[in-house]
Amino acid sequence: MFEATELNRKNQKTERLWRLLFLMMTVLLILPVLIILGVLIYHGGPMITIDFLFTEPTNGMTAGGILPALVGTVWLVAVALLVSVPIGIAAALYLSEYAADNWLTRSINLAIINLAGVPSIVHALFGVGAFVLFFRFGTSILAASLTLAIMTLPVVIVATRESLQAVPHAFREACWNMGASRWQTIRHVVLPNSVSGILTGVILEVSRTAGETAPIMFTGAAFFLPFLPQSVFDQTMAMSLHLFVISTQVPGVPENLPFGVALVLISMVLAMNALSIAFRMVLRGRKKW
Amino acid sequence: MASAGPARAIVTRKLNLWYGTFQALFDVDLAVRAGIITSMIGPSGCGKSTFLRSINRINERLGYVRTTGSIEVMERDVYAPEVELLQVRKLVGMVFQRPNPLPLSIRDNILFGHRLHRGSQKVTRSREDEILESALTQVLLWDTVKDHLDRPAVDLSLEEQQKLCIARLLPVKPTVLLMDEPCSALDPKGTEAVEELIWELRGDYTILIVTHNMAQARRASEECIFMLLGRVIEHTATEDMFVAPVRQETADYIEGRYG
Ligand SMILES: Nc1ncnc2c1ncn2[C@@H]1O[C@H](COP(=O)(O)OP(=O)(O)O)[C@@H](O)[C@H]1O
Ligand SMILES: [Mg+2]
């Protein structure tokens, strides 16, 4: 009485078909990533030595290492983070915890989501106009980082807001009903329970800026500058621009060099992601609901 | 406590409330006696929760809520301009349908309110322990949890969580406790235990408890309010309401004709 009927067998066949389809899509998705990584490691792997990481480029960037670009990218991302994270978190806290739920708040939220989709070249031009020229920062790390910060602000706000909204509303009500102020509620309940999500989201989003080229190209990144930056008012080389330059602008670059640079850049981003995931696991372990 | 204060803990006059354009409360005139347990019954959606949530003004967080009329708690108008909202919330504790302990230890849950309201004033650990023991003892939970006060409160059973949610209101010394169907997430045994606890708290606090459970209202309250479609239909001593309701609607509801 429990044998499969004709209908069951037909269902099973459709079932298998769909499953196969979805599996193939997944493979299709992962395959290019694996190929890229494979190629990078195959060609670029042998390039990466201590010397490569810790010396300046020489011979018109056809030889030597990448130190100024590496250090420059760390500067650019760090300063951008320092600016966009506090402002972004504060704005998200305001929007999610203080602002009344009305059409104004809703349109601001919508605007922020749309801002995240503005092409980076537009941010670049804004950065030139605002930071390089108007504020007279010149082409400098400061101008480039501020441009990156403006660019990442929307995603920081969105990532933070999502983590804040993931904290159950019942917790907030419990606090308010005991006479907690908004800030006390945020400080003692909302933030402690969303900090892991906020940090993870923010780091994931911001690590992507390490690879951005357009926003820094006109605002602070230099073509060739074999010195380490001394302050935020200096120009600097950057990994992304360096990769672009040696791939397309300089004759006589050995074939493996760009692969080496790309591999280092991608490793930097992956390392940041790994850090954020580690962060989440540590903090998640302490979460109590 | 009840003998020293006013005879009526909550008084509303012509209270109307709108969610946007939808009117949820109509001319509610109520006087809840201090120091006793009053239950509030009525079919789902008749505005019981809305009424409770306007007493401690938690409703107004929703931008589209509008109220007219007045609400007095312990003879003070809670909507008066000089009123500090946080003081109202301190005086009027609220318990929800689903237990909502904070994701903290049992100890931190109980001391949460107290810590909020004491400012920078230093309180010794032993004083905190006293507060903790007294609050948990009042809700009949002390013996169960005294050996693991640092465990997360969410690990407790639902019944224990609900008791904890009541206990954490006590250290800030509220005078009114509002309970919105506090037993509806509990099994019969848990319901009985929480009812027993509410009965224990009687006299020290003015308790207004919403319930769907007619037997509970009958067992556990001294006065009873029946609401229907945003209006108060009847408010009398509980036994009178169940034995000899004045209004036809009340009789119909009690006999189960509204489902
Ligand atoms: N936040 C809200 N927004 C809009 N309408 C609401 C809201 N809360 C409750 N209502 C409406 O108000 C009426 C009363 O609801 P409620 O007070 O929750 O009833 P009860 O607790 O008696 O079941 C219902 O018709 C409900 O749909
Ligand atoms: Mg309700």
Q: Residue of the nearest CA to atom 8 in ligand 1?
A: B50
pLDDT at B4: 59
Topology (CATH level 3) of domain A50-285? MetI-like fold (1.10.3720)
Residues of A in contact with B84 (CB under 8 A): none
Does the distance separating the beta carbons of B168 and A178 come in below 8 Å? yes
Does the distance separating the beta carbons of B113 and A287 come in below 8 Å? no
Of B56, B154, B169, the CB nearest to A289: B154
Angle at CA of residue A244, ends A239 and A247, nearest 5°? 120
Q: Which residue has the tokens 């010397």?
A: A51
Q: Which residue has the tokens 């935020």?
A: A232
pLDDT at A121: 92
pLDDT at B2: 43
Cβ A67 vs Cβ A55: under 8 Å: yes
Residue A47 — φ and ψ, nearest 5°? -70, -30
d(CA B113, CA B168): 7
Q: B121, B101, B85, B123: which is closest to B168 by C-alpha? A: B101
- pTM score, two decimals? 0.82
β-partners of residue B206 are: B176
Cβ B140 vs Cβ B193: under 8 Å: yes
Output b/e per residue, B59-78; b: 16+ Cβ within 10 A. Answer: beeeeebebebebbbbeeeb
Residues of A in contact with B114 (CB under 8 A): none
- pLDDT per position as a tens digit, A184-205: 999 999 998 898 888 888 888 7
Residue B33 — φ and ψ, nearest 5°? -70, 140
pLDDT at A86: 93
ipTM passes above 0.85: no
Q: How many CA atoms lie within 13 A of B1 on its CB side?
A: 16
Of B62, B87, B94, the CB nearest to A177: B94
Q: Residue of the nearest CA to atom 16 in ligand 1?
A: B47
pLDDT higher at B30 or A277: B30
Enumerate residue ranges in chain B where pLDDT < 50: 1-2
Cβ A256 vs Cβ A43: under 8 Å: yes
Q: Which helix (H) or strand (E) holds B112?
A: helix B106-117
Q: Is the CB of B19 under 6 A from ligand 1?
A: yes
Residue of B nearest to A177 (CA): B89
pLDDT at A287: 58
pLDDT at A117: 87
> What single-letter DSSP state applies at residue A189?
I
Cβ A219 vs Cβ A127: under 8 Å: yes
pLDDT at B258: 63
d(CA B185, CA A34): 50
B180 φ/ψ sector (left φ>0, alpha ψ -120 to 50, else beta): beta
- pLDDT per position as a tens digit, A148-164: 999 999 999 999 999 99
- pLDDT per position as a tens digit, A65-99: 899 999 999 999 999 999 999 999 999 999 999 98
- Domains of chain B, CATH where assigned: 8-254 (3.40.50.300)
Atom number, ligand 1, closest to the C-alpha of residue B47? 17
Cβ A259 vs Cβ A43: under 8 Å: yes
pLDDT confidence band for A289 (50 / 70 / 90):
low
Residue A230 — φ and ψ, nearest 5°? -100, -30
Q: Residue of the nearest CA to atom 20 in ligand 1?
A: B45
Output b/e per residue, A168-195; b: 16+ Cβ within 10 A. Answer: eeebbbbbbbbbbeeebbbebbbbbbbb
Cβ B104 vs Cβ B127: under 8 Å: no
Helical pair A195-207 and A67-93, crossing angle rounded to 10 deg = 140
Say which ligand is closest to the CA of B184.
2
pLDDT at B1: 44
